[in-house]
Amino acid sequence: MSDLFNLEAVPLADRERVAALIPDPRIAEGYVHRDVLGVDDFDLLDYALAEAENVMLAGPTGSSKTTVARAYAAARGLPFALVECSGAMDPGTVLGRTVVTDEGMPAWVDGDFTLVVRYGGVVLVDEVNMAHPRITAAFHQLLAVTRRISIPEAGQTVKAGSETGNPVLFVAAYNPRYQGTVRMSEALSNRFAIQVDWDYDRSVEQALVPSTRLLDTADGIRSLSEIRTPLSTNALMEFVRHWLALGWGFASGLLVNRFDLSERAAVMRALEANSAAIEAELTEALAYDLADEQADDAEEGE
C-alpha cells in the first residue's frame, strides 16, 4: 500500500471504485522524466501535493501533460481522475448524479472526479479553459484555500481529502496554441501557484525515439508557419512502431494523414528529404536493441 494513500480509510461502499482508479505501477516504470526549472518533475509534484498548491501545465497537444500526472499517480499509488473538458461535457459524469435504487429511493453516486476529491489522489483537468460552466464553478471552489466543493444535487459540501486524511493534488492543463481556444480567465489562472510551460522536450523525445534525424525533421515541421496541426511525441513513437512493422511507406503515410489536407504536402516533403538518414538510424538502433536482447538471453541461459 502507498505511504501517501490509505485505502483502508475509504468507506467500504466506495473502496472498490477508488482502488480501481489507482493506475498500474508499470505505467510509471516506462515514464521518462523531465527537468522543470532545475527540479525533477515528480519532485515538483511531490512538493505541490505536500503544500496543497495547484499546478497548471500549459503546452501543445501530445507533450505528455496527461502522461506526467497519470505516471505520478501510478508511482505514488494514488487514485487518478482525468476530466476532459469541452462544451459538450456532462457535469453529471464528472461530479456524479442521483440514481434510483432497487428499492425505488433516490441516492447520490459520486463521479470519479468527486471520489478523488473526497478520498484523496490526483485530479487532472484537461483543457480547463473549455470546461462546462457548472464544472468551472466547482473548480473555483476547489482551487481556493478552503478546497471545498458544493454539490447542491447531493445536498453536500465536500472538503478535499477531509474524509480520509489522504492528500489531493489538483493539476490543470491546457493548450494555449489550440485553434479556437477560450482565453483563460485571470480569476481561474490566479488559483494556480505553480504554472509550468510544458512544451515538447527534446531530451524526453531522445529517450523515446531512436532517430536524431527524425526528431530534427519533427522540429522542422513544427516550425513551419503553414502547419497548425500538432506533431506529438506519441505520433513520433507510433511512426517508429509502424516503420518496424510495415516499412517506410506505411509509417510515413499514416503520419502524414494526421495532418490537415492543406498541410500534408509540406509534411511529406520534409519526411522524404530525410528518409534515408531516418531509416539508417532506425535500422542501426534496431540492430543494437536486438544485440542487447541476445546478450541478455545468453546471460540468463548460463
**Between 130 and 192, where is the model more confident?**
192
Q: 138 is written with which cell numbers?
A: 466547482
The answer to whether 173 and 128 are in contact (CB under 8 A) is yes
d(CA 7, CA 21): 11
The answer to whether 173 and 65 are in contact (CB under 8 A) is yes
In CATH terms, the fold of domain 7-197 is Rossmann fold (3.40.50)
Secondary structure of 135-170 as H, E, C letters: HHHHHHHHHCCCCEEEECCCCEEEECCCCCCCCEEE
Containing 106, the helix (H) or strand (E) segment is strand 106-110
Among 180-194, 203-217, 248-262, 271-285, the range scoring the smallest mean pLDDT is 180-194
Number of residues that make up the chain:
302
The answer to whether 115 and 18 are in contact (CB under 8 A) is yes
Q: At 71, phi and psi to the nearest 5?
A: -65, -40
Residue type, position 299, single letter: E
Q: How far is CA 162 from CA 12, 77, 112, 142, in A?
A: 16, 19, 17, 13
Going by their DSSP bridges, the two strands 39-40 and 35-36 should be labelled as antiparallel
Q: What is the pLDDT of residue 190?
A: 85
Q: What is the pLDDT of residue 183?
A: 64
Give the whole-number percent of the chain exceeding pLDDT 90. 63
d(CA 76, CA 46): 9
Residues with Cβ within 8 Å of 100's Cβ and at least 6 positions away in sequence, in order, are 106, 107
Q: Is the pTM of this model over 0.85?
A: yes
Residue 50 has pLDDT above 90, yes or no: yes
Residues forming CATH 3.40.50.300 domain(s) in the chain: 7-197
Residue 299 has pLDDT above 80, yes or no: no
